[in-house]
Amino acid sequence: MRKTCLPLLVAVLAFTVFAHADDWSKTYDLTGKPELRVQAHDANVRVEAWDQNKIEARVTTRGWHIGSGLEIVERQQGNTVEIELRESHHTHFSIGIDARRIELEIHMPRSAKVDVRSGDGAVSAKGLEGELEFATGDGTFEIEDADGSLRAHTSDGSVRVSGRFDVLELRSSDGRVEVEARPGSQLREAWDVRSSDGSVTLRIPGDLAADVALHTSDGSITTNIPIVVEGSFGRHDVHGKMNGGGKLLTVHTSDGSVTLDKF
């Protein structure tokens, strides 16, 4: 009898966790270019551009109750919208696999200033233009069709970005970094792309002008774009100029290869 009850108890508890689902949504009307600020607790966040002059935010959960376990604090001042997800208390039963999940999905105008931070979740965005900043303590980044300034930091996860960039700052403490910088990209400021543990691949326009500093502590460097090398160079370091030089493009990894290729 005891052998039968234990699996049944586990099954009931697992069902209870999955049954605790909730959702919340709100729409914010705008009169001009929006600024979005998000503190997303441990949520997975996805932001997509659309052609409507408003921001729509939706939270869906599994294993959380909005209001009792998860608190949503939001405010709007003019065209600035702030959304914060907070854990109001920490009382849940764990059966070895934490089935709880929070998803935050946002639709907003393409041209905007965006600052999104998650403590432990994946972050993705598509079709945004402007000053874009993303951070997560433990999760991947997937940024598609961006335009303008992009800064993205993750402590543990891979990074994949594509778009036209003026400013680019990407960092992963543990993960592969892949960049597709499309024609029209330029170094308005220095670009800095780093991984502490993972390979880094950049596909850039062949006419991009920059000073270049490529480094790997444990890996190889491959470039399919002509670089006029300055000083000494070797398997782990390359310094030089592309297309006459310009602002500094730094690519650095402590453990992995570096590849520079034409878009």
pLDDT at 95: 45
Rounded Cα distance between 205 and 191, Å, is 14
Identify the pLDDT of residue 252.
Answer: 95
Q: What pLDDT does residue 121 have?
A: 93
d(CA 242, CA 208): 7
What CA–CA distance (Å, rounded) separates 224 from 17?
52
| 106-130 pLDDT per residue, tens | 999 999 999 999 998 999 999 999 9
Nearest-angstrom CA–CA distance, 263 and 256:
21
- Whether the CB-CB separation of 227 and 208 falls below 8 Å is answered with no
Per-residue confidence (pLDDT) for residue 18, from 0 to 100: 46
Distance from C-alpha of 153 to C-alpha of 149, rounded to nearest angstrom: 14
- Which residues have C-beta within 8 Å of that of residue 96, sequence separation ≥ 6? none
Model confidence, pTM: 0.87
Backbone angles phi, psi at 8, to 5 degrees: -65, -40
Query: What is the chain's length?
Result: 263
- Encode pLDDT of 5-24 as tens digits: 544 444 444 444 444 568 99
With H, G, I as helix, E, B as strand and everything else as coil, classify residue 187. Answer: coil
Give the residue ranges of the chain where pLDDT is below 50: 1-2, 4, 6-19, 91-97
Between β-strands 35-39 and 177-181, what pairing exists: parallel, antiparallel or unpaired? unpaired
pLDDT of residue 130: 98
Residue type (1 letter), 261: D
- What pLDDT score does 99 carry? 67
Distance of CA 157 to the CA centre of its chain: 9
Please tell me the distance from the alpha carbon of residue 178 to that of residue 102, in angstroms, as a whole number.
Answer: 26
| Phi, psi for residue 15 in degrees, rounded to 5 | -65, -40
Instruction: Please give the backbone phi and psi of residue 94, each rounded to the nearest 5 degrees, phi first.
Output: -110, 135
Pair 241, 212: CB distance under 8 Å? yes
Residue 233: φ, ψ to 5°: -145, 160
